[in-house]
Amino acid sequence: MTSPEKTPLPKNYDPKAIEPRLYAFWERGGFFHEDPDPARPPFIIPMPPPNVTGRAHLGHGSTYTPQDVLTRYHRMLGDNADWLPGLDHAAIATEAVLVRELAAGGISRESLGREQFIERAWEWSRSTGGTIEQQFRTLGFGPDWQRSRFTMDDGLSAAVRKVFVALYREGLIYRGKRLINWDPKGKTTVSDAEVEHVERDACLWHVRYPGADGSFAIEIATTRPETMLGDVAIAVHPEDERYASLVGKMVVLPLVERTLPIIADAAVDPSFGTGAVKVTPGHDPTDYEIGLRHELPMPSIMDLDARITGAEIDVGPYAGLDRYEARAQVVEDLRTHGLLLKEEPYRHAVATSERSGDVIEPLLSLQWFVKMKPLAQPALQAYHDGRLRFVPERYGRTYELWLENIRDWNISRQIWWGHQLPVWYTPAGDVVVAETEEEALEIARTRYAGAALTRDPDTLDTWFSSGLWPFSILGWPEKTLELECWYPAQVLITGWEIIFLWVARMVMLGMHFAGGIPFPTVFIAPLVFDAQGRKMSKSLGNAIDPMDLVERYGADAFRIGILRQMRLEGQEIRFQESRCEEARNFNNKIWNATRYMLALPDALPHAMTLPKPAELTIADRWILTRLHDTIVAVSQYFESFDFGNATDAIWRFVWYEFCDWYLEATKVPQNHATRAAVLSFVWNNAMRVLHPIAPFISEEVWLALPHDGVTIMTATWPDHLEVPVDREAAAAFELHMAATEQIRRLKAELELPLGSKPVTTLPGDLMQIAALTQYTAAAAGATIALDPELAGGVKAIVVEAPASLLLERYRKDAIRLRSEVERGERKLGNEAFVAKAAPDVVAKEKEKLEGYRNELARVEAALASMGETV
RNA sequence: GUGCGUGUAGCUCAGUGGGAGAGCACCACCUUGACACGGUGGGGGUCGUAGGUUCAAUCCCUACCACGCACACCA
């Protein structure tokens, strides 16, 4: 391959001029696309499908960039690598947007009708759904777009129905009246996993319940006085002596004058409040459990609008009031009756809907559930026997704990956008579950001798369909080649906040239906917060749009910036935009190093042609050795998901080793003969190592230099075995580096004048140091000279300068060296140390002491010669 | 309440049982065959506190303090 034409490149790297062009080139070339190939090891990552309504945010930076990095890395390794993208229909979020839009036009969901509503939802999904995928392209993410799936696709919907019917027939899906989490704002149930307990300031009211026989009264404490309308008992702890004599007696429920029994139940904490609690099984999870144990009635006093209703039990004058109005009214009436004993400020965790933010209302309702224990068992087993592991490991505990305490999953939602339950009812109320309406009719005819069926209006929890993701996107239940080759995937990458909602459910459903764990490894990426550790949110105004960052610094800089902030054990990133700016500077550095190479008079030879080993200089050998080590390190960091260290390793190599030292060394005449070949070789390899992290600039540079192939995307991952290593030469060069730094320091401290004429009388290797330090012969009465006797291993630098300048320097050195010598002597004088420490540690200590003593002797001699008493 | 994580330079964070590190910020100097989105040099930390193990602790153990997070039916 010939050297590309040497056209001058602009001085600053301009990502905007390059990134869109390269992305289009990749997509047009079909480089992201892959077909199953049983002959090669698979590397599959199912992309967590972003909400169809969503937009890219910084969280995608920390969770999706690693997926792109690993996919690109494994593609270069030659694996059958594919990153499978898609979109989630985001039932509640989408429905909420549409309902809001309709309301703005004065239309209700019901007046529009289900069919129309769903048509709108489809339109809306189609029109906005492209946004996030386009944004992902801007970020350089390269999933296999041709395989993109949507959770409402025909195929995926069929899988959903199949799974539902199968679970129902196995008895793992059932319908029942249970206490569920009602979201009054979203007008739907939500699962336990979608309920968030938020600390809020509230009030604890102490209320007096008079005894029915008038001989006593009992005081209870509650945060929800309005629910007392649904009270069915008072409960105390069985061993609470204060109330032992009252158990079995009756009290009168204030305001509505119902008599309630006093019961004993261990769920009551005697130390809290008064030790006596009101029991409202229809509106509180604890009370519901107590109600079940004691076979208490469970009246509902609230409807789906969270208004008080007297439909099931007498609620006095409160019927029709909103729950908060009712609370205020009840409190006021209690006060009027003298039954309110105390009001104290109280801070506690309130159950809140993650989606709508509204306070959850526990309600008794007839809903559909998945029986989780039988599904959880194998999923736990897989974790325990190591088939499934988490990185970092501690997240496995989270997974384990949840599965051990798992409760049944409420899957029916009262919204329209989503997978409608494949459930029909006969006029008599018989339940028919089938994959299609035809099948349902058939069942109804044969089993119930009727054909009039009404379909259940509810839809499934969004997470039900995403729980099938790793296999539904591969064509399940059809026996496809994809399923055969690409299931299970190799890794799943996501944030810890959806370990329960999504990860655990994929494991359970995958094991149950697809024949095994969906992925052996789950990498939990850190979540992104602002620099103060606060969650990024629109309302706080601290949210950073990744598109803005790309605009300012380029996609590569965004990726590098966020990857460098990822630490293996970290659970959060306190995002600093400055990291992206630094990364932009880094890219500019790469760009200019490339410009330097292209501007050299030497033609850059083919990238894989190195000079004969004997011809390589120590600078060449050093940078090649460092390249070798960098390839090994980055590969290992990728394999262990340590993206922060991987990026740092490349950064160090490119900037501090290649640019700061090697490029400078190529300006020294003794390195001229070999530099073009070594530069070409090293830079070609470095770009390939960089590519998974910074796909654009690595491609642009790689294409600009001698290379094989059409795109770096399909180039091979550098093989460290092809990079010559010479540790001895590398160590020698490092001595030169140390000497160079020493001289620079002296020059800076002594403020010696700069010049441009290199000294030519120094022996071979020292020339290099002289050149790197811009060393010049005597000027203004000062000279720095290298001790030529020490050429093999530079250890001392002779400085001649005006005594006044040197004196201070030597005094400082003497102080430092004396303390070092003292430290060493003390350590070696400690018999226990010499006797018990490892021999090599002792030997090293002796060597160090010796070195310091020699140096000190030199300095003291110099001081003495200047008339200083030492 | 239980569990987990974190506390190292002004900031964000690496790191190791044997002389404390990086980037940014700061100070000084420098336009040297690419880069001022640059180069060179420098100042700055009792490694949260108190004990313990060890010849040796920033690192291991214990307790405590501070912060963050998850789980939990304290109404």
Q: Flag whether pLDDT at A275 surpasses 80.
A: yes
Q: Is the pLDDT of residue A851 over 90?
A: no
Q: Which residues contact A93 (CB under 8 A, 6 or more apart)?
A: A51, A53, A355
pLDDT of residue A537: 75
**pLDDT at position A93, please?**
87
Q: Does the CB of A354 fall within 7 Å of any strand B atom?
A: no
The pLDDT score that the predictor gives to residue A854 is 83
**A535 or A839, which is more confident:** A839
pLDDT class of A13 with cuts at 50, 70, 90: very high
**Where do we find the tokens 């690993």?**
A70
Give the residue with minimal CA–C1' separation from B15: A645
Complex-level ipTM: 0.94
User: Which are the contacts of A3, defined by CB distance < 8 A and separation ≥ 6?
Assistant: A603, A604, A605, A706
Contact A692, A73 (CB under 8 A): yes
In angstroms, how far is B63 C1' from A90 CA?
A: 48
Nucleotides of B under 7 A from a protein CB: 3-6, 11-15, 18-19, 23-24, 28-42, 54-56, 67-75
Predicted confidence at residue A714, as pLDDT, reads 97
The confidence score (pLDDT) of residue A754 equals: 43
Residue A756's contacts (CB-CB under 8 Å, 6 or more residues apart) are A774, A776
Predicted pLDDT at A758: 38
Residue among A366, A460, A418, A380 nearest A163 (CA) = A460
Q: Could you tell me the distance in Å between the CA of residue A645 and the C1' of nucleotide B15?
A: 12
In this prediction, residue A232 has a pLDDT band, given cuts at 50, 70 and 90, of: very high
What is the pLDDT confidence band of residue A752, given thresholds at 50, 70 and 90? low
Q: Average of pLDDT values for A803-821?
A: 78
Q: What are phi and psi of A77, to 5 degrees?
A: -70, -10
Scanning residues 559 through 588 of protein chain A, those with a beta carbon under 7 Å from any atom of strand B turn out to be: 565, 567-574, 576, 578, 582, 584-585, 587-588
pLDDT score for A784: 54
Residue A773 has pLDDT above 80, yes or no: no
pLDDT at A763: 46
pTM of the entire predicted model: 0.92
> Which residues 180-239 in chain A have a CB closer than 7 A to strand B?
192-193, 196-197, 221-224
Q: Is the CB of A667 under 7 A from strand B?
A: yes
Give pLDDT, residue A689.
97
Tens of pLDDT along A615-634?
A: 999 899 999 999 999 999 99
C-alpha distances in Å from residue A723, one per residue of A165, A456, A617, A743: 58, 66, 15, 32
Q: What is the longest distance spanned by two Cα atoms in chain A? A: 119
Length of chain A: 870
Task: Give, in Å, how far the C1' of B68 lies from the CA of A531.
Answer: 14
Q: Which secondary-structure segment (H or E) carries A779?
A: none
What is the distance between the alpha carbons of residues A411 and A429, in angstroms, rounded to a whole number? 20
Identify the pLDDT of residue A861: 84
Find and give the residue nearest to B34, measured CA to C1': A596
What's residue A3's pLDDT?
39
Q: Which residue is closest to B73 in terms of CA–C1' distance?
A: A286
Nucleotide B56: nearest residue by CA–C1'? A833
Q: Nearest-CA residue to the C1' of B19? A: A820
Helices assigned H by DSSP within A528-617: 546-553, 555-563, 578-599
Inform me whether the pLDDT recorded for A70 exceeds 60. yes
What mean pLDDT value characterizes chain A?
A: 89
Q: How confident is the model at residue A790 (pLDDT cuts 50, 70, 90)?
A: very low
Residue nearest to nucleotide B30 (CA to C1'): A754
Å from the A731 CA to the B23 C1': 26
Q: Record the tokens describing residue A129, joined without a space.
A: 């759904």
% of chain A residues with pLDDT over 70: 93
CA distance A560 to A354: 32
- Is strand B in 7 Å reach of the CB of A138? no
pLDDT score at A760: 39
pLDDT at A776 over 60: no
pLDDT attached to residue A775: 54
Between A455 and A862, the more confident residue is A455
Residue A830 has φ and ψ, to the nearest 5°, of: -80, 110
Q: Computed from CA positions of residues A630, A636, A638, A640, in that sequence, does the dihedral angle turn out positive or negative?
A: negative
pLDDT digits (tens, 9 = 90+) for A164-203: 999 999 999 999 999 999 999 889 999 988 888 887 888 8
Highest mean pLDDT among A316-320, A571-575, A714-718: A714-718
* pLDDT value, residue A202: 85
A114: pLDDT strictly greater than 70: yes
State pLDDT tens for residues A487-523.
999 999 999 889 999 999 999 999 999 999 999 999 9
Examine the pLDDT at A786 and tell me if it is beyond 70. Answer: no
Report pLDDT for A5: 44
pLDDT classification of A766: cutoffs 50, 70, 90: low
Q: Does A815 score more than 90 pLDDT? A: no
- Which residues in chain A, range 463-502, keep a C-beta under 7 Å from any nucleic strand B atom? 497, 500
Q: Which residues of A spanning 616-635 put their CB closer than 7 angstroms to strand B?
A: none
Residue (of A136, A122, A103, A130) closest to A19 by Cα position:
A136
| Residues of A 273-302 whose CB lies less than 7 Å from any atom of strand B | 273, 275, 277-278, 284-286, 289
| Strand B reaches within 7 A of the A841 CB | yes
When comparing pLDDT for A764 and A741, which is higher?
A741
The predicted structure's pLDDT at residue A739: 76
Nearest protein residue to nucleotide B5 (CA to C1' distance) is: A571
Q: pLDDT (tens digit, 9 = 90+) per residue, A399-455? A: 998 999 899 999 999 999 999 999 999 999 999 999 999 999 999 999 988 778 999
Q: What is the pLDDT of residue A210?
A: 94
The whole-angstrom separation of Cα A226 and Cα A175 is: 29
pLDDT digits (tens, 9 = 90+) for A80-106: 999 999 999 988 889 988 999 999 999
Residues 83-102 of A with CB under 7 A from strand B: none
- CA–C1' span, A398 to B74, in Å? 23
Between A695 and A800, name the one with better pLDDT: A695
